[in-house]
Amino acid sequence: MTRLLGLSACAVALALAVFGAAAAVMGARLRRPELVRSAIAAAYANFALLLVANLAMVYALVTRDFSISYVAQVGSRATPLFYTIISLWGALDGSILFWGLVLSGYTALAVRWSRAEAGAVLPYALAILLAVGSFFYLLLVGPANPFGRMFPVPVDGPGPNPLLQNHLLMAIHPPLLYLGYVGMTVPFAFATGALLAGGLDDRWIRLTRRWTLTAWGFLSLAIIAGMWWSYEVLGWGGYWAWDPVENASFMPWLTATAFLHSAMVEERRGLLRVWNVSLVVATFVLTILGTFLTRSGILSSVHAFTQGTIGFFFLAFIAVVLLFSLALVAGRSTELRGTGRLEGVVSRDTAFLLNNLLFTAFTFTVLLGTLFPLAAEAVRGVKVSVGAPFFNRMTIPLCAALLFLVGVGPALPWGRPERQLLRRKFVPPFLALGLVAGTLLALGVRAPFTVAAFAFAGFALTANLGEFADGTRARRRAHGEAPPRALVRLVRSNPRRYGGYLAHLGVLLIALGITASSSFRTERQATLRPGQTLAIAGHVLRFERLWARQEPQRFVVAADLTVLRGSTSLGRLDPRLNYYAASAEPVATPAVRSRARADLYVTLLAFEQDGSSATFHAYVQPLVIWIWLGGAVIAAGALLALSQRRERRSPGGERLPAAAQAEAR
């Protein structure tokens, strides 16, 4: 019954999506608004249908209906209710089902929120969204059908992947990732929809920018949550391993970030139109490519649930999207020609062009490194690895340059700034840069990229805070407002601009956290008997005892450790090893003590069966917590920027009123 309900909901969704896509285009071409209205109705109905299908699956999971293939694949009677529910996105078929729900939700919201603004573009954008939707619904009734029939019905299942039922973040990271990933479909639909509709004006860039910003905010949070999960679950003391699945989530973030900046050049100067369309298309294609790479099993990875035919579907889909987009851009090349010009070489416009260059080179490097093992195997017949040492070597210089630009961009005014203004804007950041670099060198830090990262972060921090300070001062002078009030008014006068600077501050927190925790990391490994201690970076760990517990779905072995400073106890840590029936290797749960200054992180590596000794790996890493905090600040920045309902745009690429005010002196 559940099986039939879920499967038929997906089948009807597929039929409606195909119908809706055709109806929307025909309605626009033949000027038959009732056809467009029926396409809109189809979009809303699809959301309801996918909601039904997803709820049916959750019901099947919770009631442990092993006659349904997906439940038989990821369910087990021993798995706790919470992890049973979230195993909805724990394997391939279920995650496509959830993808369908998010996509149909975005489609409905895009229609609802952007209908008025999109105008003639809406039917075409809707057609694209429904066409993309029909691809995923096709997967659901075909190669990734989660509602397959199991006969004979198994008595029990293996349960979800042990790594995915070990931490609460598994309930947060995947939905955020889907909201970010799938959300990139909407800007793609508005961009290609605007090209299909023709008569291109600057409406398309506003629509795509807003929707990109929404998805980008979720994607930023998702990447940080993924790093946090990796840190809390995988037990290696790190948070980013340049694993293909991490790269897959990072590449669309890079291109989307590039677009959020270059969109401003188009809005102000009427330049870079083909480039912006390309970035939007690239972002969308990278989300699909990332899913293909990690879900088809072509590159082995934590998330690769190896499956048969689904890879071909994805490849064909990517080819269609690329050909379609190329044809559209070629067909509209005259309309896409830039109309404006730049006023000066030393200006924010140029900073944005360099920003785009670096982000593009970054994306290319990550993509090349991720795909290179496939190329090497095809060309040389030899398997090679491209891992963290390669990516660090190639991308750390790019990161340093981008960090510098985070400061240069906001400090450089638009247009053709005067020398005096430039001096006033750049003297404090450069002073901060020199101060930080000098201090670190005096303290004996010699690693060039550590010094550079901190110095550039100091530079950028001063520049971005300086923007808030300058604006506040200008308001104080103009309106006589007290500083806190002036700051709030300033931010509310141009949330988009200050949201951007706030996001910069988040990026800087993350950069500081990553640089500090990777440059000044201390680690020690030791085998201890009960009562013995391990000293690491000012902390002393005393091994008290080993204990074990049988839980319904796993067997847990844990060690009690007391954290000491001098002879005072600061608290307890209990790193664990979890043994699941489904996994040969135990899954470690590290114990983490997070403080603003540093994290103490301990994993249990091995133990004697009789509890007479245990081996631990301890890490002390400064400022890790700032990375997670930075993620929240980025999201707050995105939210602030989105709160600007109406775009204020002055013709001829002049400064915005608030901007002019802030830069008046």
Partner 1 sequence: MSGAGAAARKARAARSRRRRVVRLALLALTGLISAPAAAQDTPPDLEARTRLVASQLRCPVCQGLSIQDSPSELAQEMKQVVRAQLAAGRTPDEVKAYFVARYGEWILLEPEPRGFNLAVYLLPVLALLAGLAVVGVVVRRWTRSGDVAQA
Nearer residue to partner 1 within complex by CB, 315 or 605 = 605
The DSSP letter of residue 647 is P
Please identify which residue in 389, 434, 438, 657 interacts with partner 1, judged by CB under 8 A: 389
- The tokens of 378 are what? 């095809």
Site for partner 1 in 427-446 (CB under 8 A): 446
Please identify which residue in 78, 322, 354, 548 interacts with partner 1, judged by CB under 8 A: 354
Nearer residue to partner 1 within complex by CB, 347 or 493 = 347
Nearer residue to partner 1 within complex by CB, 154 or 387 = 387
Q: Are 576 and 614 in contact (CB under 8 A)?
A: no
Please identify which residue in 31, 116, 151, 339 interacts with partner 1, judged by CB under 8 A: 339
Q: How far is CA 455 from CA 401, 412, 511, 553, 648, in A?
A: 11, 19, 11, 49, 35
Query: In the bound complex, what is the minimum distance in angstroms from residue 583's beta carbon to partner 1?
Result: 12
Binding mask 586-625 for partner 1 (x = CB under 8 A): --x--------------x-xx----------x--------
The interface region with partner 1, picked from 71-79, 133-141, 334-342, 405-413 by CB under 8 A, is 334-342
Nearer residue to partner 1 within complex by CB, 320 or 384 = 384
Nearer residue to partner 1 within complex by CB, 138 or 234 = 234
Site for partner 1 in 206-235 (CB under 8 A): 234-235
Please identify which residue in 19, 113, 236, 324 interacts with partner 1, judged by CB under 8 A: 236
Q: Are 576 and 589 in contact (CB under 8 A)?
A: yes
Q: How far is CA 239 from CA 6, 223, 517, 518, 597, in A?
A: 37, 10, 10, 10, 17
Nearer residue to partner 1 within complex by CB, 1 or 345 = 345
Does residue 174 interact with partner 1 by CB under 8 A?
no
Of 365, 369, 354, 450, residue with least CA distance to 402:
354
Does residue 350 interact with partner 1 by CB under 8 A?
yes
Kindly report the backbone phi and psi dihedral angles of residue 593, in degrees, each rounded to the nearest multiple of 5, phi listed first. Answer: -115, 105
Q: How far is CA 440 from CA 352, 407, 436, 490, 596, in A?
A: 30, 20, 6, 35, 20
Q: What's the one-letter identity of residue 183?
A: G
Query: In the bound complex, what is the minimum distance in angstroms from residue 468's beta carbon to partner 1?
Result: 29
The interface region with partner 1, picked from 189-197, 347-355, 437-445, 526-534 by CB under 8 A, is 347-355
Alpha-carbon span 665 to 653, nearest angstrom: 20
Alpha-carbon span 278 to 188, nearest angstrom: 10
Query: In the bound complex, what is the minimum distance in angstroms from residue 169's beta carbon to partner 1?
Result: 17
Does residue 396 interact with partner 1 by CB under 8 A?
yes
Q: Is 448 helix (H, G, I), strand (E, B) or coil?
A: helix
Q: How far is CA 429 from CA 350, 509, 515, 634, in A?
A: 19, 17, 19, 22
The interface region with partner 1, picked from 27-35, 149-157, 207-215, 337-345 by CB under 8 A, is 337-345
Site for partner 1 in 243-262 (CB under 8 A): 243-244
Does residue 238 interact with partner 1 by CB under 8 A?
yes
Q: Angle at Cα 303 formed by Cα 601 and Cα 133, nearest 5°?
A: 130
Q: How far is CA 189 from CA 92, 212, 412, 493, 642, in A?
A: 25, 11, 33, 31, 19
Q: How far apart are the first and last CA of the chain?
A: 71
Does residue 141 interact with partner 1 by CB under 8 A?
no
Nearer residue to partner 1 within complex by CB, 320 or 388 = 388
Nearer residue to partner 1 within complex by CB, 292 or 362 = 362
State the pairing for strand pair 576-579/591-594. unpaired
Nearer residue to partner 1 within complex by CB, 156 or 202 = 202
Residues that bind partner 1 (CB under 8 A): 234-238, 241-244, 271, 300-302, 337-345, 350, 353-354, 357, 360-361, 364-365, 368-369, 372, 375-376, 379-380, 382-390, 393-394, 396-397, 446-449, 585, 588, 603, 605-606, 617
